[in-house]
Amino acid sequence: MRCLVTGGAGFLGSHLCERLLKDGHEVISLDNYFTGRLSNISHLRDNKSFEVIRHDVTEPILLEVDRIFNLACPASPVHYQHNPVKTIKTSVMGAINMLGMAKRVHARILQASTSEVYGDPAVHPQKEEYWGNVNPIGIRSCYDEGKRVAETLFMDYHRQNNVDIRIVRIFNTYGPRMLPNDGRVVSNFIVQALKGEPITIYGDGSQTRSFCYVDDLIECFIRMMNQEKIVGPVNAGNPSEFTMIELAKEVLSLTGSKSPIVYKDLPGDDPKKRKPDITLARSVLDWEPKISLQEGLSKTIAYFDNLVDYSLQPITLQMGQSEIMCPLALQ
């Protein structure tokens, strides 16, 4: 099949491109390189089944594909709060453009949604039926509400136009190719530990998250797209729950770092707890995470330890007309 991955040069997108090529598909990576990196996909450049397009999903594009994986959107607070209006446009206009393409070429399309649609949940763990507890006007709303609108668009295109959709709600995911300065807790803790800097915990450290290694999540994407039973949404995450203090201590143990732990004020609208109920994924997709936190962190630490510069800055590009790049142009 010919597969389009929006956000294909990003953290998740690059791993997905890799997996789809391994499974024998033709793959198009589409990215504007705000948070995506050419270096994430440079190892794929010699594969004749791989194509790269520099383009912003907020602008329409005409392609002939069989499947679309819509992953394009900054996912960390540091990046999506940098330009909140653009973040909303990416989620909403990107969804409209990709759904329009799917409708036109009769492609199956997957929306990479998020556990942020649940907000600061009053129900724990979170099932797909839960409508959430989201602040519509807070500093995180550009991301949370943008993803909620995208889900609405997907369901309406499905009901009104019979577009073949799939929706996956991603919980905290980590692994190699995360940006070291993206502000997410796993990358923060690892980089601080490796550099011998204080480990920064916001709040008292009792807030919880559930961490899923990237390979497990990609497997969920593949299984979701290959089944015919449901369109979703389906929770994709690790039901094992850890406090921020537990995560910090695990990172310190695995790195052998002597970094002290310091506490700072909790940012606004930061959820106190987050844990997926993956009953639906288990029953329909026969999926659950296989990689333990210790194993996943060890792989992620090794990746960050090999980076020469932990202070890399994201590339900000304002994309108008699309620019097509051949794989050999990846440097």
**For the packed helices 185-194 and 293-305, what is the interaxial angle rounded to 10 degrees?**
60
Secondary structure (H, E, C), 49-92: CEEEEECCCCCCCCCCCCEEEECCCCCCHHHHCCCHHHHHHHHH
- Residues carrying an active site annotation: 143
Alpha carbon distance 303, 190 (integer Å): 10
Secondary structure (H, E, C), 190-258: HHHHHCCCCEEEECCCCCEECCEEHHHHHHHHHHHHCCCCCCCCEEECCCCCEEHHHHHHHHHHHHCCC
**Structure tokens, 61:** 């594009």
Ramachandran category for residue 286: left, alpha or beta (phi over 0 → left; psi -120 to 50 → alpha): left
